[in-house]
Structure 1
């Protein structure tokens, strides 16, 4: 029977196992192969046993003696050693399962970002890959740096930090797929004026246009479904000196809250430090009270100029028609006007909510 010298393995095997198959097929010993290659018998036996690697010089000799390309031998060797390293790494990571278990692994699996079912070394490895970190310690260091310069827990902290970190990373990953121009403050300010009018459009039509307007000014905008364990509406942050991110969770699922959150985060990008991650959250504080108040005032006035609203309030008789007419004349969603009237105490938080648009997550 003639040996198949064009042998191409279709599964991961050690080069030693392939070499042993060749020797069986050709009915020669390891010692004889070593003699033909000009290498020691001990080395050839160790290669067959997987103890010694196939080095480039040996691969070239095997090519001449056995007829299989040196590239294939070296490829087998590289894949085999990588697989061994992965196996050893997973075993070593088993000691970090307690750390990994604090993260919402079930949610990551539900979103198709992790495989498996349990909390083992492989789960640790996949979690590190999700965060883009090479080791558990480097991942922890990244989180410590983020916490130190970007946010702190509020006194009434209830959200889990691990869930927040996952949600932030989901936004980073989405933002990575959004091509943006370099940030330009004047373009962003101009485009925000166009974005304001989008509040009157159906949300499915508004979101792609909002993403386009933001990207043209150097801001990645994305919606990331919230994760159980955090009470968060949105964040603004700088990913690079030339690219910012506004990330929202659609918390409360109503148009007044959504649009106020967007313009609140936009205000942070325009007015405040690039070193801070600004979180609109019930459980975290990042901005100072003064910065939060400034962002609130800017967003409120940008959405509905307060001098106009005060004039409206002075003659307001409490009808839907008045709110709808005011919103149409000033090209803003009626729900936003209702939200501001409620915030001022002109309406209670139960009045006119039917003028707000409610959202639902797609199945």
Structure 2
């Protein structure tokens, strides 16, 4: 049995004015332009402009045409609206055709694979789809959004070299975060929530992910989890979507639970301590004092620094597990701290749970 795999919509590259229909109606009524002018009270010059599509059919004109031709005014109004809409689409298509080279900066293939863009489109249609994904009407508007001082305030090297890929990853987080209902942001409540979330490090993703999202949403923070993208070497980002709603955006780069939780608390620090207007990106660099502050906050929240000397001389997995039990966190986080302090990245590696994406 044959079946259609895809529904294609016909998009004409021309626009037919309602004046063409009016000429056909006149012909069927055997009516001249002069007679129509007399019957409708319109000048012949006005009718000529309507025939050519240079003058729109107003509601008043549509009512007059209904009385003379017996064709409902609603039909004339609909024909006029469709004509103007098609003209606008043709003008937009011409404008987008001149901007389509910008598509080379956007990871369209990855976005198609993730279901954000439709496949098998011509370049102009694809460009329109991409602009819709970003919620802008033009490439100029895209630059205005993603090159504002708020974004440039925390400029990552990746943003300079791969702005399209970088913005695409953040935009996916925004779209996900917008779907999360949050209470108005409450700073002290969120700070208390962080202690509850710290305990969740002992749980598996099936437990900690929904609970973490729920707790953060109750404090005005939407947690978005978005797969890593090629050429975007970031662990996380923080952005205020509104004055009362923050987004913490995370991925599984590195895959270890220790890195994931460090990234979460790193971003949480930005929510608590940094300005709401900034987009802050965790790309592993340490040149920004805000990033150093966030690193210190994450490290101290997970494992107070007074335990570092003790951890650095651990010899057995039992020591790691015992301290993890004492601190109320996952053993993998203690193992990760040991690796960081000693540089022995292979030691206690089996204690660090790997996190993976599931469809």
Q: TM-score, normalised by structure 1?
A: 0.84
Q: Does 1:349 align with 2:345?
A: yes
Residues 338 and 48 of structure 1, relative CA distance in 2, 3 Å threshold: same
Structure 1 position 253, deviation (Å): 1.7
C-alpha offsets along residues 68-102 of structure 1, whole Å, 9 cap, x if unaligned? 54344323322321221111221122222222221
Q: Which residue of 2 aligns with 1:291?
A: 290
Whether the 8 Å contact between 1:62 and 1:70 is mirrored in structure 2 is yes
Q: Which residue of 2 aligns with 1:39?
A: 42
Q: Which residue of 2 aligns with 1:180?
A: 182
Whether the 8 Å contact between 1:250 and 1:258 is mirrored in structure 2 is yes
The partner residue of 2:210 within 208, 211, 222 is 208
Q: Does 1:80 align with 2:79?
A: no
Residues 61 and 189 of structure 1, relative CA distance in 2, 3 Å threshold: same
Residues 159 and 331 of structure 1, relative CA distance in 2, 3 Å threshold: farther
Q: Does 1:301 align with 2:277?
A: no
What is the distance in 2 between the residues matched to 1:70 and 1:206?
61
Residue 200 of structure 2 aligns to a residue in which SS? helix
What is the distance in 2 between the residues matched to 1:314 and 1:263?
22
What is the distance in 2 between the residues matched to 1:31 and 1:157?
65
What is the distance in 2 between the residues matched to 1:243 and 1:64?
57
The partner residue of 2:331 within 334, 337, 343 is 334
What is the distance in 2 between the residues matched to 1:271 and 1:288?
18
Whether the 8 Å contact between 2:19 and 2:51 is mirrored in structure 1 is yes
C-alpha offsets along residues 231-271 of structure 1, whole Å, 9 cap, x if unaligned? 11100122222221110122112211111100001012212
Q: Does 1:313 align with 2:311?
A: yes
Structure 1: gaps of 5 or more residues: 1-10
Q: Does 1:110 align with 2:113?
A: yes
Q: How does 1:119-138 map to 2 (within 5 A)?
A: 120-138=123-141
Residue 101 of structure 1 aligns to a residue in which SS? helix
What is the distance in 1 between the residues matched to 2:77 and 2:113?
38
Q: Does 1:241 align with 2:239?
A: no
What is the distance in 2 between the residues matched to 1:52 and 1:314?
81
Residues 304 and 32 of structure 1, relative CA distance in 2, 3 Å threshold: same
What is the distance in 2 between the residues matched to 1:39 and 1:267?
70
What is the distance in 1 between the residues matched to 2:70 and 2:210?
57
Residues 313 and 106 of structure 1, relative CA distance in 2, 3 Å threshold: closer
| RMSD across aligned positions (CA) | 2.9
Whether the 8 Å contact between 2:162 and 2:232 is mirrored in structure 1 is yes
What is the distance in 2 between the residues matched to 1:76 and 1:328?
73
Structure 1 position 146, deviation (Å): 4.5
C-alpha offsets along residues 13-39 of structure 1, whole Å, 9 cap, x if unaligned? 643454455446655555544443222
Residues 111 and 66 of structure 1, relative CA distance in 2, 3 Å threshold: farther
Residue 340 of structure 1 aligns to a residue in which SS? helix
Residues 334 and 45 of structure 1, relative CA distance in 2, 3 Å threshold: same
Q: Which one is further off, 35-44 or 330-339?
A: 35-44
What is the distance in 2 between the residues matched to 1:66 and 1:176?
51
Q: Which one is further off, 129-138 or 16-25?
A: 16-25
Structure 1 position 323, deviation (Å): 2.1
Structure 2: gaps of 5 or more residues: 1-11
Q: Which one is further off, 59-68 or 177-186?
A: 59-68
Residue 181 of structure 1 aligns to a residue in which SS? coil
Q: Which residue of 1 aligns with 2:6?
A: none
Q: TM-score, normalised by structure 2?
A: 0.85
